[in-house]
Amino acid sequence: MLDGNLDTRAGRLNDRYRHHAAIEVLRRAVSDPDLGRVALVSSFGAESVVLLHMVSRVAPGLPVLFIDTQMLFPETLAYQREVSAKLGLTDVQVITASDTEIAAHDPDGTLHKVNPDACCDFRKTVPLERVLSGYDAWITGRKRFQNGQRAALEFFEPEPPARLRVNPLAHWRPEDVQDYMIENRLPRHPLVAQGYPSIGCAPCTSPVKPGEDPRSGRWRGQEKSECGIHFIGGRMVRGKVSA
């Protein structure tokens, strides 16, 4: 039975794997009894193929959860199919909001223009939470270099009330990501070459100019910098979150 104290478990895991490489953190995480049932959540975005490739090497049958918001770029949907087939991932689950939810919250597909937080909530956070309720931990591709809110990211972090998050790439630098892709000859998301270093939904993602923060094209011109699935308990909050 899992220890109910998330802080204790996260601290114990961070101590246990503090000096391990990313792929070893991932390899051990999928079978460590302190984590329980584990799934990978992937956007199949600009850098997602790194973790997906690692999973294909250590646990190709691990559940991979892909949220289709029904507002993604066509290139992302095609890339998801290509990468899943190429890497031999055997349990990719496509998650969407229900027709009933869409009809109730965004029947004309314009909610993102007036309330992007609400759009992300019902298209991403709520459908994902339904599926993640069956797991004790989930793996993300978050990294310290991505923005200020992630600067102190650890391999393992609590997500109250009852889950842990695993961030195997937390300590990677941008060049580590690129080197891994090159060394393993991994397919790139086609939009990266068009100036999209961070890729979300089509209406809320724009190209990034040289010198800009890689995530500056997400919700450009707004205070918003996260979709919500990476906030504690899925809550839409601002600033630094303390567990």
Answer yes or no: is 129 within a domain: yes
Q: Give yes or no for residue 140 having a pLDDT over 50.
A: yes
Answer yes or no: is 46 within a domain: yes
Answer yes or no: is 30 within a domain: yes
Q: Give yes or no for residue 2 having a pLDDT over 80.
A: no
Which CATH number covers residue 43? Answer: 3.40.50.620
Annotated active-site residue 227? The verdict is: yes
Q: Give yes or no for residue 235 having a pLDDT over 90.
A: no
Q: Give yes or no for residue 110 having a pLDDT over 70.
A: yes
Question: pLDDT value at position 188?
Answer: 96
Largest Cα–Cα distance in the chain?
50
Task: Write out the DSSP string of the chain.
Answer: ---S-HHHHHHHHHHHHTT--HHHHHHHHTT-TTT-SEEEE----SSHHHHHHHHHHH-TTS-EEEE--S-B-HHHHHHHHHHHHHHT-S-EEEE---HHHHHHH-TTS-HHHH-HHHHHIIIIIHHHHHHHTT-SEEE----GGG-GGGTT--SEEEETTTEEEE-TTTT--HHHHHHHHHHTTPPPPTTGGGT-SS--BGGGB----TTS-TTTTBSTTSS----STTSGGG----S----
Question: pLDDT value at position 229?
Answer: 54
Distance (Å) of CA 37 to CA 134, 179, 201, 210: 8, 31, 29, 41
Choose the catalytic residue: 10, 166, 227, 229. 227
Closest CA to 187 of 96, 75, 94, 105: 75
Answer yes or no: is 1 within a domain: no
Q: Give yes or no for residue 231 having a pLDDT over 50.
A: no
Q: What is the pLDDT of residues 44-87, one digit of tens each?
A: 999 999 999 999 999 999 999 999 999 999 999 999 999 999 99
Range of the domain at 143: 6-236
Report, as an integer, the average pLDDT of 150-155: 76
Q: What is the pLDDT of residues 161-170, one digit of tens each?
A: 889 999 999 9
Answer yes or no: is 174 within a domain: yes
Answer yes or no: is 138 within a domain: yes
Question: pLDDT value at position 199?
Answer: 93
Taking the C-alpha atoms of residue 164 and residue 12, their distance in angstroms, rounded to an integer, is: 12
The model's pTM is 0.87
Question: pLDDT value at position 234?
Answer: 40
120 marked as binding residue? yes
Q: Give yes or no for residue 174 having a pLDDT over 70.
A: yes
Q: Give yes or no for residue 233 having a pLDDT over 50.
A: no
Answer yes or no: is 165 within a domain: yes
Q: How many domains does the chain have?
A: 1
204 marked as binding residue? yes
The per-residue pLDDT of the chain, averaged, comes to 87
Answer yes or no: is 243 within a domain: no
Contacts of 228 by beta carbon, 8 Å cutoff, 6+ apart: 117, 120, 121, 124, 125, 234, 235, 236
Report, as an integer, the average pLDDT of 223-237: 49
Question: pLDDT value at position 240?
Answer: 30
Q: How confident is the model at residue 226 (pLDDT cuts 50, 70, 90)?
A: low
